[in-house]
């Protein structure tokens, strides 16, 4: 009986929130077009300011690079918390892995996955993509190692120490480029003017490609650490 009352009250809350949302959105005006100050400026002079063809990357790693630094700090905080909670020992706990056919097939596919991830990272200022997206693709390789070949293989090939070093190295690249901006251009994370080249080439757009590489390694290693910590504990009970 108590449960029934609870359920009915929850349904009332659901109906109320739906009604409130509906009322709110019926008052919502149509989109009025671009913001005159900010968005129009970025669209008009983003290419000249940063040299990056991809304006979203220009926003992320040039105009609002400080935000991206905070964002990668959030990933670092999540990784720290998860490792603190889950892993008391960093020894590998082996899982057997999948069948021979799956192992062979993914052995052929894995280099191409790595290539695609690196392509998405390094072409972040030219095509859709960037450090965060490519980093997630790189983390998929570690997940493939753990599931298909067993977590001991992942431990041997791509040990937690390597992952930690990659994550710290990515953060250091980001911070180092920020400090270089202070020294050379006078503001934290200012785009480095002397690195710019002809627009549309691979190494252009100042420090944006290098920040992309740093963020990519940081995100990839961070997600790999998260997955490794979780799968270690869940497999420990089976063996």
Partner 1 sequence: MFNNLIFIILFMLGFYALVIKTNLIKNVIGLNLMEAAVFFWVISFSDIGGKVSIHKLGEEVTKFNDPVPQALTLTGIVIGASTAALLLTLIIELNKFSGTIDRDQLEGLND
Q: Under the rule (CB under 8 A), what is the footprint of partner 1?
A: 7, 10-11, 13-14, 17-18, 21-22, 25, 28, 30-31, 33-35, 38-39, 42-43, 46-47, 53-56, 58-60, 64, 67-68, 71, 74-75, 77-78, 81-82, 85-86, 127-128, 130, 132, 199-200, 219, 223, 226, 229-230, 233-234
Contact 203, 57 (CB under 8 A): no
CA distance 186 to 88: 44
Q: Which residues of 137-167 are buried (b: 16+ CB within 10 A; e: fewer)?
A: bbbbbbebbbbbbbbbbbbeebebeebbebb
Choice between 114 and 136, CB closer to partner 1 = 136
Three-state secondary structure string covering 69-111: HHHHHHHHHHHHHHHHHHCCCCCCCCCCCCCHHHHHHHHHHHH
Between 208 and 223, name the residue whose CB sits nearer to partner 1. 223
Minimum CB separation from partner 1 for residue 88, in Å? 12
> Could you tell me the CA-to-CA distances from 98 to 49, 72, 175 in Å, in that order?
51, 34, 41
Distance CA 81, CA 74 (A): 11
81/176 with CB nearer partner 1: 81
Nearer to partner 1, 85 or 182 (CB): 85
| 127/162 with CB nearer partner 1 | 127
* Shortest spacing between CB 164 and partner 1, in angstroms: 17
Nearest CA to 205 out of 148, 126, 116 is that of 126
Minimum distance from CB of 133 to partner 1 (Å)?
8
- Closest approach, Cβ 99 to partner 1, in A, equals 27
Instruction: Give the tokens for residue 229.
Output: 């910590």
Give the CA count within 13 Å in the CB-facing half-sphere of 149: 19
Is the CB of 9 or the CB of 109 nearer to partner 1? 9
Q: How far is the CB of 47 from partner 1 (least distance, A)?
A: 6
């Amino acid at each position: 009986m108590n449960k029934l009352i609870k359920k009915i009250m929850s349904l009332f809350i659901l109906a109320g929130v739906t009604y409130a949302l509906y009322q709110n959105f019926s008052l919502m005006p149509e989109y009025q077009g671009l913001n005159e100050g900010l968005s129009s400026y970025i669209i008009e002079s983003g290419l000249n300011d940063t040299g990056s063809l991809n304006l979203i990357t220009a926003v992320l790693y040039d105009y609002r690079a400080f935000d991206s630094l905070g964002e990668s700090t959030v990933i670092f905080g999540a990784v720290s918390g998860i490792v603190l909670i889950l892993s008391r020992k960093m020894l590998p706990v082996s899982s057997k892995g999948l069948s021979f056919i799956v192992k062979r097939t993914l052995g052929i596919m894995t280099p191409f996955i790595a290539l695609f991830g690196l392509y998405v990272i390094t072409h972040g200022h030219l095509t859709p993509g960037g450090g965060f997206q490519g980093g997630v693709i790189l983390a998929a390789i570690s997940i493939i190692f753990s599931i298909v070949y067993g977590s001991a293989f992942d431990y041997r090939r791509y040990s937690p120490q390597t992952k930690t070093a990659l994550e710290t190295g990515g953060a250091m690249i980001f911070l180092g480029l920020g400090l270089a901006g202070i020294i050379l251009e006078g503001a934290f994370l200012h785009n480095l003017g002397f690195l710019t080249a002809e627009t549309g080439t691979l190494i252009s757009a100042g420090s944006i490609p290098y920040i992309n590489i740093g963020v990519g390694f940081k995100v990839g290693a961070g997600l790999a650490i998260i997955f490794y910590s979780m799968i270690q504990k869940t497999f420990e009970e089976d063996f």
